[in-house]
Amino acid sequence: MSKANVGINGFGRIGRLVLRAAVETEKVQVVAVNDPFITIDYMVYLFKYDSTHGQFKGTVSYDGDFLIVQKDGKSSHKIKVFNSEDPAAIAWGTVKAEYVVESTGEFTTIEEASAHMQGGAKKVIISAPSADAPMYVVGVNHEKYDSSNEHIISNACSTTNCLAPLAKVINDNFGIIEGAMTTVHAVTATQKTVDGPPREMWRYGRGAGQNIIPASTEAAKAVGEIIPALNGKLTGMAFRVPTPDVSVVDLTVRLEKPASMDDIKKKVRAAAEGRMKGILAYTEDQVVSTDFVSDPHSSIFDAGACILLNPNFVKLVSWYDNEYGYSNRVVDLIKHIHIAHKENRKRPYQTDAESQLRDELYEDQQIDSDRFGNEINIENARNVRNMSQIPSQPSNIDQASGTEVDYDVKIRVKPDRSGVVTEGVQHSMNPFDKIALEEAVKLKEKKIATEVIAFSLGGPKSSEVLETAFAKGADKAIHVQVSDDEAAKLESFHVAKTLQKIVEHEKFDAVFLGKQAIDDDSSQTAPMLAGLPDWPQALYASKVEDGGSGHMKVTREIDGGLDTIKVKVPFVLSADLRLNEPRYATLPNIMKAKKKPSEAIPIKDLGIDITPQTETIEVTEPPVRQAGGFVEDVSALVAKLKVKGLVKA
Average pLDDT over residues 339-346: 64
The better pLDDT of the pair 525, 631 is held by 525
Q: Which of 345, 349, 569, 296 is nearest to 471 (CA)?
A: 349
Q: What is the DSSP secondary-structure string of 416-441? A: TSSSEE-TTGGGS--HHHHHHHHHHH
Query: What's the distance, CA 408 to chain centroid?
Result: 25
Using DSSP's 3-state secondary structure scheme, residue 368 falls into strand
Confidence of residue 45 (pLDDT cuts 50, 70, 90): very high
Give pLDDT, residue 136.
Answer: 96
pLDDT of residue 536: 84
Mean pLDDT of 123-129: 96
**pLDDT value for 571:** 77
Nearest to 5 by CA among 35, 34, 31, 33: 31
Q: Looking at the predicted structure, is the pLDDT value of residue 305 above 90?
A: yes
Mean pLDDT, range 237-259, rounded to an integer? 97
| Residue 589, pLDDT score | 36
* pLDDT tens string 540-592: 676 777 777 778 888 776 655 677 888 888 877 776 644 443 322 233 333 43
CB 113 within 8 A of CB 124: yes
With a cut of 70, say whether residue 526 has pLDDT above it.
yes
Residues, the chain, total?
Answer: 649
Beta-strand relationship, 280-283 and 307-310: unpaired
- What CA dihedral angle connects 144, 267, 308 and 184, to 10 degrees? -50
Amino acid identity of residue 91, one-letter, is A
At 615, the pLDDT band (50, 70, 90 cuts) reads: low
Given a cut of 50, whether residue 97 has pLDDT beyond it is yes
Q: What does the alpha-carbon distance between residue 576 and residue 513 come to, in Å, rounded to a whole number?
A: 9
Which of the four pLDDT bands, split at 50, 70 and 90, describes residue 51?
A: very high
Q: Residue 513 — pLDDT band, cuts 50, 70, 90?
A: confident
Q: In this predicted structure, which of 53-67, 213-227, 286-300, 603-617 has the lowest mean pLDDT? A: 603-617
DSSP 8-state class, residue 515: P
40-49, 593-602, 609-618: the lowest-pLDDT one = 593-602
How far is it, in rounded angstroms, from Cα 239 to Cα 646?
84
Angle 574-578-583 (CA atoms, 0-180°, nearest 5)? 90
φ, ψ of residue 512 to 5 degrees: the values are: -110, 120
Residue 623 DSSP one-character state: P
* In the predicted structure, residue 500 carries a pLDDT above the cut 60: yes
Looking at residues 270-298, what average pLDDT do you find?
96
231 touches 141 (CB < 8 A): no
The confidence score (pLDDT) of residue 648 equals 66
Three-state DSSP class for residue 428: coil
- pLDDT the model gives residue 109: 94
Give the pLDDT confidence score for residue 493 in this predicted structure.
74
Round to whole Å and give the CA distance between 499 and 501.
5
244 prior amide bond cis, ω within 30: no
pLDDT at position 184 over 80: yes
Confidence of residue 152 (pLDDT cuts 50, 70, 90): very high
What's the pLDDT at 408? 35
Q: How far apart are CA 161 and CA 158, in angstroms?
A: 5
What ranges make up the beta strands (E) of 476-536? 476-481, 510-514
* Of residues 327 and 481, more confidently modeled: 327
- Mean pLDDT score of the chain, rounded to an integer? 78
What is the structure's pLDDT at 449?
A: 75
Q: Is residue 450 over pLDDT 60? A: yes
Please indicate whether residue 346 or residue 118 has the higher confidence score (pLDDT). Answer: 118
CA atoms within 13 A on the CB side of 544: 35
Q: What span, in angstroms and rounded, lies between the C-alpha atoms of 16 and 40?
A: 13
Q: What is the pLDDT of residue 322?
A: 97
End-to-end CA gap in the chain? 69
| Structural domains in the chain plus CATH codes | 4-133 (3.40.50.720), 158-325 (3.30.360.10), 374-606 (3.40.50.620)
Cis peptide before 129 (omega within 30 of 0): no
645 or 106, higher pLDDT: 106
* Range name among 29-43, 446-460, 618-632 with the lowest pLDDT average: 618-632
Q: What share of the chain is helix, strand, coil (3-state, %, to 5)?
A: 30, 25, 45
pLDDT interval class at 65 (50, 70, 90): very high
CA–CA dist 139, 296 (Å, integer): 14
pTM of the predicted model, to two decimals? 0.57
Average the pLDDT over 103-122 and give the result: 94
Is residue 69 very low, low, confident or very high in pLDDT (cuts 50, 70, 90)?
A: very high
Residues 639 and 643: their CA atoms lie apart, in Å, by: 6
- Please report, for residues 114, 120, 537, 562, 577, the alpha-carbon distance to residue 559 in angstroms, rounded to integers and kept in the order given: 19, 21, 18, 8, 14
For 561, the 3-state DSSP assignment is strand
Q: Residues of 274-290 as b/e, b for ≥16 C-beta within 10 angstroms?
A: eebeebbbbbeeeeebe
Helices (H), 197-275: 219-226, 261-273
The answer on pLDDT for 103 being more than 60 is yes
DSSP result, 7-73: EEE--SHHHHHHHHHHHT-SSEEEEEEE-TTS-HHHHHHHHH--TTT-S-SSEEEEETTEEEEE-TT
Percent of the chain with pLDDT over 70: 72
Name the residue with higher pLDDT: 369 or 446.
Answer: 446
Contact 185, 254 (CB under 8 A): no
User: What radius of gyration, in Å, describes the C-alpha atoms of the chain?
Assistant: 29
Q: Which SS3 state, helix, strand or coil, does residue 118 take?
A: helix
Read off the pLDDT of residues 401-441 as tens digits, 9 standing for 90 and up: 222 333 333 445 566 666 655 444 333 455 556 666 777 77
Beta-bridged to residue 34, according to DSSP, are 9, 82
Whether residue 208 has pLDDT greater than 80: yes
